[in-house]
Amino acid sequence: MTRIAVRQYSARNAEMLAQQGLHPVLARLMAARGLSAISELSNEFNALIAPGQLTHVQEAARFIADAIAQQKKFTVVADYDCDGATACAVAVRGLRAMGATMDYIVPNRFEYGYGLTPDIVELTAQQKSPDIIITVDNGIASIAGVAEAKRRGIDVVITDHHLPGDALPDAAVIVNPNQPGCGFPSKHLAGVGVMFYLLLALRAELRARGHFDASNQPRLDALLDLVALGTVADVVKLDVNNRILVAQGLRRMREGRAHAGISALFAVASRDIRKASATDLGFTAGPRLNAAGRLSDMSLGIECLLTDDLDKAMAIARELDAMNRERRDIETGMQEAALASLDTIDPQASATLTLFNPAWHQGVIGIVASRLKEKFYRPTITFAPAGGAMLKGSGRSIPGFHLRDALDLVAKRAPELIDKFGGHAMAAGLSLREVDFPAFAEAFETVGREWLSPAALEQVLETDGPLEPDCFSLDFIRLLDTHVWGQGFPAPVFCDEFRVLNQRVLKEKHLKLMLQKDGRQFDAIWFNHADGLPARARFAYRLDANEFNGKTSVQLIVEYAEAC
């Protein structure tokens, strides 16, 4: 059940923002997102939180600077998603620019799983012979892996953003805004953001040692397109600090200064990088890069981001695009199987969804969990075989249900059920024995029933209310596009009543509409919805500049509609 609601906002804050020069409607939108001063909309690089506020970042900078001076060998151990790939590329590019001897390794998720495990340490030692391992987007839970590295005489610097467990690894240095005692004001840095901050601190340390000055220091702003991609693709909250990082990266892309790999990812998707948006990063570039880690080996994606040869980048991007098409086909089949398995049960009668199919691909279960969560608005975990009578699960949650904490409670109540788990409030992963799947599903449902009230299981689509008539314009759309929207800072969705003048189904799955309000007509489309609508309905919609046959016009993208 979905219900349309209107975001509340402070009229006083909206008035203050308008008085500071913001368009009145934009002022209302920003007030509804908690802003009260126009300074909170700054996209300038110098408005970033100072690196020194990140706990241990200066200690890590000194440690790495000493190691560079001693010509020690570094190896980055990356994660296999888009955040991990971009963080790896940022680390390798940035540290090489500062004189480090660098290499990287990314575990095959199907063989080694997640994080700095003892097996990964052994593999890294055999293949790379590093003096120092730097983790990116992982490591905060790698107690055994760090211990194995120390046993082998390898120091470990952890850069991560995930929530820690009860104990921390005995690493040389840990940089993570979510570690105990860290007072960094933004807890929402992605893994790539943490690595970028470490590079800022390292450059400052090397300047202080006389290695660089302002005229010859490495240009770290050149890495911001990579930072923007990883930040958006990891779906972290776009707070003020993250919006600056993303806006700066998008600016570089639009100005034609993106790295070859990112330019290639846009090109194979037939997207104009000169008009790059956060949506493009999340739904165009990100999925193609992620496809490597989901179906094959993320080292292919990292090589795409590390090369400066556009021809090589294009060749890799075409491979990634083909993988992404294969991933979509696999996902579609899995989704159909999941929906078929729900025919015998009523999802609305459950607080959670837990599904397993022996034919499913573990690289795609997270996406399928996300699709099912969106469709049924229930915390959802999907499982696939992981070999050796084990299952791997990937979960997605809804507001008000902290997924990692729920798994922690299951593990405490039944310590034998879960082999290992980790994650965030909204996404988590775990592994367990196939024989224990029914017991886990029951235990997880018990937590769901305890934590989620009927009201919490009602999906509320928040909107920004009716849109003023003069804002149905390309100029207003361009004004909205000057700002970064995304997770935690949602793009504007408006709601109004319209007459439905005409409707037809495109490609058997999209509803094309002609709507009327106050004597004006509007083109609209509702993607992946083919059911007809009554003659009058209340619509939740986004504004879109639709380009067709060389002409650009206003189009409404329907998010939801209900009879008036």
The pLDDT of residue 166 is 87
Q: In the structure, what pLDDT confidence band is assigned to residue 244 with cuts at 50, 70 and 90?
A: very high
Which residue has better confidence, 264 or 342? 264
Is residue 329 in some structural domain?
no
- My answer on whether 306 and 429 are in the same domain is no
Q: Do 556 and 478 have their domain in common?
A: yes
Q: 310 and 346 in one domain?
A: no
| Widest Cα–Cα separation across the chain | 76
- Residue 68 pLDDT > 90: yes
- Within a domain: residue 20? no
- Whether residue 377 is found in the same domain as residue 236: no
405 and 368 in one domain?
yes
Q: How high is the pLDDT of residue 111? A: 76
Is residue 405 domain-resident?
Answer: yes
| 1 compared with 379, residue with greater pLDDT | 379
pLDDT band (50, 70, 90) for residue 556 = very high
Dist CA 138 CA 151 (whole Å): 20
DSSP alpha helices (H): ranges in 152-259? 191-208, 224-233, 240-254
Q: Which residues contact 341 (CB under 8 A, 6 or more apart)?
A: 355, 357
- Residue at which a domain ends, from 442, 457, 472: 457
Q: How far is CA 126 from the centre of its chain?
A: 32
Note the pLDDT of residue 422: 82
Domain-embedded: residue 113: yes
* Residue (of 302, 281, 362) closest to 77 by Cα position: 302
pLDDT tens-digit series, residues 164-214: 988 999 999 999 999 999 999 999 999 999 999 999 999 999 999 999 998
* Bridging pattern class, strands 427-433 and 418-423: antiparallel
**Residues 309 and 408 both lie in one domain:** no
* Residue 345 scores a pLDDT above 80: no
Q: How confident is the model at residue 494 (pLDDT cuts 50, 70, 90)?
A: very high
* Average confidence (pLDDT) over 502-525: 96
| Interatomic CA distance for residues 97 and 350, integer angstroms | 54
Same domain, 279 and 185: yes
Looking at the structure, tell me whether residues 290 and 395 fall in a common domain: no
Dist CA 150 CA 148 (whole Å): 5
Residue 347 has pLDDT above 90, yes or no: no
CATH of the domain at 499: 2.40.50.460
What is the DSSP track for 137-169?
S--TT-HHHHHHHHHTT-EEEEE--SPP-SS--
User: Based on the structure, what is the number of domains in the chain?
Assistant: 3
Strand, helix or coil for residue 525:
strand
- pLDDT score for 518: 93
Which of the listed residues 285, 320, 355 is the one where a domain comes to its end?
Answer: 320
For residue 113, the model assigns a pLDDT of 73
The pLDDT of residue 423 = 79
**The Cα angle at residue 359 between residues 356 and 364, in degrees rounded to 5:** 75
Question: How far apart are alpha carbons 368 and 331 in whole angstroms?
Answer: 6
Provide the 8-state DSSP code for 491. Answer: P
Pairing outcome for strands 494-506 and 510-517: antiparallel
- For the cut 80, the answer to whether the pLDDT of residue 507 exceeds it is yes
Question: Can you give the residue range of the structural domain that contains 147?
Answer: 47-320
What are the distances in angstroms from CA 294 to CA 59, 113, 481?
35, 12, 31
* Distance separating alpha carbons of residues 465 and 248, to the nearest angstrom: 30
For residue 328, being part of any structural domain is answered with: no
pLDDT in tens, 437-486: 999 999 999 999 999 999 999 999 999 999 999 999 999 999 999 999 99
Residue 511, in any domain of the structure? yes
- CATH number of the structural domain spanning residue 416: 3.10.310.30
Same domain, 293 and 195: yes
pLDDT score of 295: 87
The predicted pLDDT at position 341 comes to: 85
Q: What is the pLDDT of residue 289?
A: 95
In a domain, 157, yes or no: yes
Query: What is the CATH number for 77?
Result: 3.90.1640.30
Q: Do 269 and 189 sit in the same domain of this protein?
A: yes
Pairwise pLDDT comparison (111 vs 502), residue with the higher score: 502
Q: What is the pLDDT of residues 85-136, one digit of tens each?
A: 999 999 999 999 999 999 999 987 777 777 899 999 999 999 999 999 999 9
User: Taking the alpha carbons of 163, 168, 171, 175 in that order, is the dihedral positive or negative?
Assistant: positive
Tokens at residue 507, please?
């490609």
Residue 147 sits at φ, ψ, to 5 deg, of -60, -40
Query: By three-state DSSP, how is residue 136 classified?
Result: strand
Left, alpha or beta for 385 (phi > 0: left; psi -120 to 50: alpha)? Answer: beta
Boundary of a domain, candidates 438, 457, 476: 457
The pLDDT of residue 117: 93
The pLDDT, as a whole number, for residue 379 is 97
For the chain, give the mean pLDDT.
95
On whether both 466 and 430 belong to a single domain, the answer is: no
Q: What is the pLDDT of residue 550?
A: 86
Name the pLDDT band for 63 (thresholds 50, 70, 90). Answer: very high
372 and 467 share one domain: no
Q: What is the pLDDT of residue 425?
A: 86
Strand order across the 155-159 sheet: 101-105, 73-77, 132-136, 155-159, 173-175
- For residue 294, what pLDDT band results from cuts at 50, 70 and 90? confident
Residue 387 lies in a domain: yes
